[in-house]
Chains A and B, each alone.
Chain A
Amino acid sequence: MSNQREREKRREERLQAESKDAATDRRERMLKLAAGAFFLAIVAVVVVIVVASSSGGGGDTELEGVSEVNQELSGIPQNDLVIGDPKAPVELVEFGDLQCPVCKAFAEDVLPPVIENQVAKGEAKIVFRNFTIIGPDSTPAGTAAVAAGAQGRGWNFIDLFYRNQGAENGGYVDDEFLTAVAKAAGVKDIATWNQERNSPKATEEVENTSAEAQRLGFQGTPSFAIKGPSTTGLEPLGTLGNSGEFEAAIEDAS
């Protein structure tokens, strides 16, 4: 009797030990797997960062999108900061800040179809007016655009600036950056452009258009207004969401 009990007890102990061993094995396998995953993750992050840092590095004045922007805008008349036929019946006014990332998104995604269709067909023209809200660097950026507009390259300058925009008030808006954008935008006479962008007249224009935006009740950028045969003067539109809404607004105004 006691013999049997002893045997049972031993058997139980053995089973327990075995299951303990199995658990320990499982635990070791799992921890090895985890350690492997950890090192793999480290390698993956390092590789991705190395790849990311080696692509598109380069100097400060290396600009992106130069040929695309100049190609998109070629053949469309420009004078000052107006793009499109000066006699176009509808005038769409954009109050923007060159430092504003949302304006950048509009310049890249929302406005191009409108320019390609209604502006290129002479149904509308778009006017860019500086509304400097982001910070002190918005003013020199704005006057540089005004001076580029005087040489018929205003929209090339604006679009290229947006394509290469840095962080808000990040200090990238310096003479070197602005000159690189102006040259790439096709501003021929850089000396005159320099003179004009530093003139009190250009600063005054930027201040005036900012004041106009405030008078229209705008608080952010980009904000739009429209004028056409069917509107009573310059009517505020606010910030529309997509290209289709702009196209509809232009139709309504004409």
Chain B
Amino acid sequence: MKFPSEAALRKAIAFVATLGVGVATYIAIVESGGGSPVCLAGGSGCRTVAESSYSHIAGINVAIFGIVGYLGILATAFLVSDAARFAGFALALGGFGFSIYLTYIEIFKIEAICQWCVGSAVLMTILFLLNATRLIAYAGTTTGAQAPLREA
């Protein structure tokens, strides 16, 4: 099986993580009431989600966790080492799991969907797949050449 080159994977990870930082920052600003703190006609589900008790964990806006996670993944994309590969995978795995939990909460607990939060969940899923591919294909290599895949 042939994988994309590590450089290509790292570029893709950096690109998607940058989008993620943007989306999470937008959500953080909107949620903290940076916009006008009113309900307007035809409001979207984001207000409902943002005002719900699930929007903060230990007093911290969940979007802040998102920003930190995306920034961390972005940083690992710039480094070539096993530590970076594993850190990227671990952060994306955590973010992916957290996104599943948040989407579950949106659908079944708050019963409202915020399209920005769904967007972040999609980006995190992509990042998880990219980082998992990077780890599986290149763990243990120093040159960036694909590791020999063992048969069986």
> How many CB-defined contacts (below 8 Å) exist between A and B?
115
Asked if B140 is at the interface (CB within 8 A of a chain A CB), the reply is yes
Number of residues on chain A facing chain B (CB within 8 A)? 43
B111 surroundings in chain A (CB, below 8 A):
166-167, 170, 172
Q: How far, in Å, is A249 (CB) from chain B's closest CB?
A: 16
Asked if A156 is at the interface (CB within 8 A of a chain B CB), the reply is no
Given contacts A45-B101, A102-B51, contact A97 B86 (CB under 8 A): no
Asked if B59 is at the interface (CB within 8 A of a chain A CB), the reply is no
> Which among B4-12, B20-28, B63-71, B102-110 touches the partner chain?
B102-110
Type the 1/0 row for A156-185, where 1 means its CB is closer than 8 Å to any CB of B: 000000000011101010000000000000
- B39 contacts A24, C-beta separation under 8 Å: no
Q: Which residue of chain B is the closest to A167 with respect to CB atoms?
A: B112
A37: contacting residue among B42, B52, B82, B93, CB under 8 A: B93
Type the 1/0 row for B100-143, where 1 means its CB is closer than 8 Å to any CB of A: 11001100111110000000000000000000100110011110
- B39 contacts A30, C-beta separation under 8 Å: no
Given contacts A23-B141, A26-B140, A168-B43, contact A41 B97 (CB under 8 A): yes
Asked if A31 is at the interface (CB within 8 A of a chain B CB), the reply is yes
A97: contacting residue among B39, B108, B148, CB under 8 A: B39
B101: contacting residue among A48, A168, A221, CB under 8 A: A48
B93: contacting residue among A27, A38, A99, CB under 8 A: A38
Given contacts A41-B94, A101-B51, A102-B38, contact A31 B135 (CB under 8 A): yes
- B48 contacts A101, C-beta separation under 8 Å: yes
- B40 contacts A30, C-beta separation under 8 Å: no
Asked if B147 is at the interface (CB within 8 A of a chain A CB), the reply is yes
- A221 contacts B38, C-beta separation under 8 Å: yes
- A168 contacts B45, C-beta separation under 8 Å: yes
- B139 contacts A31, C-beta separation under 8 Å: yes
- A134 contacts B41, C-beta separation under 8 Å: yes
Q: Which bucket holds chain B's interface residue count?
A: 35 or more
Asked if B47 is at the interface (CB within 8 A of a chain A CB), the reply is yes
Within 8 A of A (CB), among B69-103: 82, 85-86, 89-90, 93-94, 96-97, 100-101
Assembled-state Cα–Cα distance A215/B139 (Å): 66
Assembled-state Cα–Cα distance A168/B104 (Å): 18
- B104 contacts A220, C-beta separation under 8 Å: no
Asked if A15 is at the interface (CB within 8 A of a chain B CB), the reply is no
- B110 contacts A100, C-beta separation under 8 Å: no
Q: How far, in Å, is A73 (CB) from chain B's closest CB?
A: 21
B86 surroundings in chain A (CB, below 8 A):
30, 33-34
Within 8 A of B (CB), among A209-252: 219-223, 239, 241
- B104 contacts A133, C-beta separation under 8 Å: no
Q: How far, in Å, is A101 (CB) from chain B's closest CB?
A: 4
Assembled-state Cα–Cα distance A130/B50 (Å): 23
B40 surroundings in chain A (CB, below 8 A):
133, 219-220
Q: How far, in Å, is A19 (CB) from chain B's closest CB?
A: 9
B38 surroundings in chain A (CB, below 8 A):
102, 219-223, 239
Assembled-state Cα–Cα distance A132/B131 (Å): 48
B: residues with CB less than 8 A from A are 36-43, 45, 47-48, 50-52, 82, 85-86, 89-90, 93-94, 96-97, 100-101, 104-105, 108-112, 132, 135-136, 139-142, 147-148
13 residue pairs bridging A and B, Cβ less than 8 Å apart: A34-B135, A49-B100, A52-B101, A52-B109, A100-B39, A101-B51, A105-B51, A134-B43, A166-B111, A167-B48, A168-B48, A220-B36, A220-B41
19 more CB-based (< 8 A) A-B contacts, given A45-B97, A135-B42: A24-B140, A27-B141, A48-B101, A52-B104, A100-B39, A100-B43, A101-B39, A101-B48, A101-B50, A102-B39, A102-B47, A134-B41, A166-B111, A167-B111, A167-B112, A170-B112, A219-B38, A219-B41, A222-B38
